[in-house]
Amino acid sequence: MKIFLDTANLESIRKFNDMGLLDGITTNPSLMSKEGGNPKDAMEEITKIIKGDVSLEVVSTEYSGMMEEGKRLRQYGENVVVKVPMTPDGLKACKSLSSEGIPVNVTLIFSANQALLAAKSGAKYVSPFIGRLDDVGQDGMQLIQEIKEIFSNYDFGTQILVASVRHPLHVVDAAKIGADVVTLPPGVLDKMMLHPLTKIGLENFLADWDKLKSGNPDIKI
């Protein structure tokens, strides 16, 4: 399963990229707004730092605007994936951009039928938002299971990009289902690295090493 980071924060992107954890990045207008400044600078920088796919989202809601913006976004790099909303105009833009060789991520997917239609329109990625479904009392992971089952019956070539991830257990469940990608807020990736027994174990190792060193101060690894 590929791991994308769901942020426009350059510091976080560099941090996790230096650990070799990142296969790509997803952004959206809210994430861009959170960082402030000129989003163009961030978009340009992200596409340079990350070798894998970088999803940059259009803000137009009608077809021709999406096409214009999609083509402009693509100029930031060959790794740019144009993110369009799951609307009739979004699907039309998905079809046109994909036919022109520009990969598309269809976002704001909340049902299996929406994922099916986005795949039919030629999307490289569908982004089901599982956390936001959980928030309204629907089982987000159940949707991932359904899309996985449907996609495995056919040969769309569309990847399931699990979005709106809220906690590490979402990641484990998505991996068990066999989702292609999860996109994670930096905080979730931080939490995935931690376990209390790792912390305690390391403290004990170092305490024992100090004991050994107290009798032999010149010892070095």
Question: 94: which 2 tokens?
Answer: 């998905």
28 binds ligand E4P (CB under 6 A): yes
* String of contacts with ligand E4P for each residue 94-123, x by CB under 6 A: -------------x----------------
User: Which position among 54, 97, 118, 163 is part of the footprint of ligand E4P (CB under 6 A)?
Assistant: 163
Sites for ligand E4P among residues 31-90 (CB under 6 A)? none
Looking at the Cβ atoms of 66 and 208, the one nearer to ligand E4P is 66
d(CA 176, CA 21): 19
For 65-88, b where at least 16 C-beta lie within 10 A, e where not — what string?
Answer: ebbebbeebbebbebbbbbbbbbe
148 counts as catalytic: no
User: Which position among 5, 13, 25, 26 is part of the footprint of ligand E4P (CB under 6 A)?
Assistant: 26
164 binds ligand E4P (CB under 6 A): yes
Stretch that binds ligand E4P, among 58-66, 124-132, 187-195, 213-221 (CB under 6 A): 124-132
d(CA 92, CA 196): 49
159 binds ligand E4P (CB under 6 A): no
12 binds ligand E4P (CB under 6 A): no
The active-site residue out of 2, 34, 71, 83 is 83
CB of 81 to ligand E4P, least distance (A): 10
29 binds ligand E4P (CB under 6 A): no
Catalytic residues: 83
Binding site for ligand E4P (CB under 6 A): 6, 26, 28, 107, 127, 129, 131-132, 163-164, 183
